[in-house]
Each structure stands twice: as structure tokens, then as C-alpha cells.
Amino acid sequence: MINFVIGYVLYDMAIARNVKDFLTGNQDLEVSAEAMEEFTAGSWRDWVRSQAFDEWQLQSFDDLTLQGYFLEAEQPTNKTVVFAHGYLGRASDMGLFGQYYYENLGYNMFTADMRGHGNSEGEYIGFGWHDRLDLIDWVHRVIEELGEDTEIVLHGVSMGAATVLMASGEELPSNVKAIVADSPYSTVYDLFSYQLDRMFKLPEIPILPTTGLVTDIKTGYNFKEASALKQVQKAEVPILYFHGGSDTFVPTEMTQELVEHTNSETELMIVEKASHGESIVLEKKSYIEKLTSFLEKFTD
């Protein structure tokens, strides 16, 4: 009985849609002053607010109303980036990356509030598993709106990175030409096992299987099936990986394992001094150069 009590507590703590006080003061989420300034007050935030995004809605496979935002490029193009944000984030966060795609690469930009976040419905966080299906539905919507010659890049960070990787193992439209995964985790089970030990000094067994069972009952997915690692073994689209070499929230080794098991063509950039999600800020020039050269290889 006590195991199920703990399972429900951890479900409510990490997966149910609510305020996540347990992350307050988490040293693994601390970033450099430079990154914090960019994340909270960077000029990209003003850029996002100044853009006239079209609002799109989508009914998910389980009948949630999801909210997305589309920004047409200034000049006609057949290229569109589709973003996936991180845990507890929202669509607008991806303006940190989107401004470059829009202003420098001339892409259309699409970004959505993932289920359980922002203005999208959902009472739980999918950690990428159900979100991968939502993402693919959004991709089909982009193609429907923009035409069959549309070339699409999927770009996710943290949980969003896991989402695009989980989508990579599905049957994607040929329009999807490249995937960018920044700071992904390998599997939800392994991520929670790591965090249980690091944050709470709790054992994986029996807590994690019990919490996984509670999650399966309440959401319809389990931790072990929610595996980016298994999905990339079926991937056919080229994948560019980024990760911070000093990331202790989602350990760098998870991306290295993903790279080793990816079926499609891969490239990897590790920014040694970067913590979780900091790479774009601490090594922006190198990050942008790597991103641009990768995209040029696989888009017309």
C-alpha cells in the first residue's frame, strides 16, 4: 500500500498538470548569469511579442484541443521549422531559436503549446510520448496549409528534444527533412531513475515501477514505452544532437547513447561548459554554424 501512496505522490509531483515547487532551488537547473539573462530578458522575447502569429487549433487523438502558432516568412519559402518546447515551458519559449530561423534562414515558423502546457488542454505531461503523435498531427497540418512541397525541420529542446526523437521512429511524411534535438533524455524511465537518486536519494525499485503503473492507469502511457532510445533505432531522418557537457539535470551520457543507437545519419555537438539547455547561449556562434551547415545538407 505504501508503494502506491508514494506512486501517486510522485505522479502528482512530476506528471500531473500543476505547479512544480519541487524544482525550485534545484542546483542542476542553475545556469550561468549570461544564460539566465538571455532566457529571461533576451531581445528574442520582444521579437516574439512583436510578431503577428496566426493561431491554429488541433484536436488530438484523445480529443484535447491543442494550441499552435504559425508565423509566415517575410519572403515566400517552402521551408518551415516546427518546434517542441521543454518541460513546464510554452510555445513562445522557442523564439530563442525561432528568431534565427526566421530572420537569418528565411523559414516559416510553427510552435505549439504541448499538451498539459500553456493554452493547450491536458491534465498531464506526456514527456514526449503522446506528444510525438501531437507533433506528427501538427506536421500534417503544416503540410495541409502550406502545400505538398513544404520542407520541414523538427527542432526540440529538453522534453521537446525527446519528443522529436520519439516522433523520428514513426512513419513521418517525406516532407520532414531533418531533426534537431537539444538536450534530450534517452527514456522517461531512465530519466526518472536518475532524478530519483540525484534529487531524493530514493531507490528505483519499487518506487519507479509503481509510479509508472499509476501513470499508465491515469494517462495511458508507461515509462518504459516512452523511449527515445528505441525510436531513434528506427529513424530515417538525419538528426543533429546538441548537449551541454556540464548538464547534470539530463546527463550528457544520454545523448551520447542516443547518437550511438540512431539508425539515420547523425551529427553531435557537445558544449563542454554548458548546463541544461545553455548551449545556444554560451556558444551561440558555433551552435548556429553547426545548425546551419547541417540544415544546408538536408534541405534544398
Asked whether residue 209 is domain-assigned, the answer is no
CA dihedral 219, 222, 223, 225 (to 10 degrees): -130
pLDDT at 1 over 70: no
Whether residue 238 is preceded by a cis peptide bond, meaning omega within 30 degrees of 0, is no
d(CA 262, CA 166): 12
Other Cβ atoms within 10 Å of 171 Cβ, number: 7
Statement: the pTM of the whole predicted model exceeds 0.95: yes
d(CA 69, CA 148): 20
Q: Which of 166, 164, 195 is nearest to 180 (CA)?
A: 164
Asked whether residue 289 is domain-assigned, the answer is yes
Asked whether residue 106 is domain-assigned, the answer is yes
From residue 26, give the alpha-carbon distance in Å to each of 31, 130, 248, 249.
Answer: 11, 27, 11, 9
Domain count, the chain: 1
d(CA 164, CA 181): 7
Asked whether residue 205 is domain-assigned, the answer is no
Asked whether residue 76 is domain-assigned, the answer is yes
d(CA 233, CA 25): 36
Q: Which three cell numbers stand for residue 184?
A: 534530450
CATH number of residue 168's parent domain: 3.40.50.1820
Query: What is the average per-residue pLDDT within 50-73?
Result: 98
Asked whether residue 208 is domain-assigned, the answer is no
Q: Please check whether residue 169 is in contact with residue 235, taking contact to mean a CB–CB distance below 8 angstroms.
A: yes
Asked whether residue 257 is domain-assigned, the answer is yes
d(CA 290, CA 143): 27
Residue 48 has what pLDDT? 98
pLDDT in tens, 273-282: 999 999 999 9
Triad 228, 186, 110: Cα angle to 5°: 55
Asked whether residue 207 is domain-assigned, the answer is no
pLDDT at 28 over 70: no
Instruction: Domain of residue 70: give its range.
Output: 31-187+226-298
pLDDT in tens, 99-139: 999 999 999 999 999 999 999 999 999 999 999 999 999 99
